[in-house]
Structure 1
Amino acid sequence: MEILKSALVLFVTFISISSYGQENEKVLTAFKQSYTFEITGDYANAIKEIVSVYSADSYEQNLRLGWLSYEAGKFTESAAYYEKALALKPMSEEARMGIVYPASALGNWDQVLTNYLKILE
């Protein structure tokens, strides 16, 4: 019976690792495709690639979507993605530098100043 339990635990672990690897590969492929679309200025499709694998608790995906949304002229969406990235990693200088772009485009100078000051702390 003990051997059966051990085998079951190993099987479940293997399946979990295997499915994680497949998901990770999908995310990597989506990022690669988004960079390809970005190079050609096709921000809509670059965004679609990341959204297709989007996880709200992914710092990297929120950061990427913040940048792509900014480049696409979607400043409010961009700021929201950068805010999510900052919520996940409050000390992130990349997210703070990133949020300054849509904030300045929207004329939100208080937010620009606040984020620059936090970067300098």
Structure 2
Amino acid sequence: LLASAYRPTGPTRPEDRRPVYGLRRWWIRPEDWLTFNRLSYEGVWPALDHMGHWVLGQFRDAATTSPLAIVNLAGYPDVAHWQYTRRPSEHGVPAELLEKFATLGRDRSKLVLSSYVCLMAAHWPD
């Protein structure tokens, strides 16, 4: 797997660990990989991070295929929190982050051919 330029940033720090993870997979055109990552980092993640979500990493296959599969692993305190983050405008996210989320998130959504998410429990070693 190849990682995005934004996350992961190194080994997962204890404060960034979460008990529940969403494994999201998107399919995009290969030429959209860099743009997709920039829009995620600059537009989508800041609003969700403000709400306590944390992306461990975003990856793609080393081989370039079309469509290109993207894997994102994002952490949440619990399953209810995952649902909570679906509507940042209702949960005290600052206006500037909401604007970026709306605008850049919409731009990112236009790049997505299809996607799905699977929620799972984490098993961190002590």
What TM-score does the superposition give when structure 1 sets the normalisation length? 0.29
> Quick check: which has more Rg, 1 or 2?
1
Q: Higher strand fraction: Structure 1 or Structure 2?
A: 2
Richer in helix (by share): 1
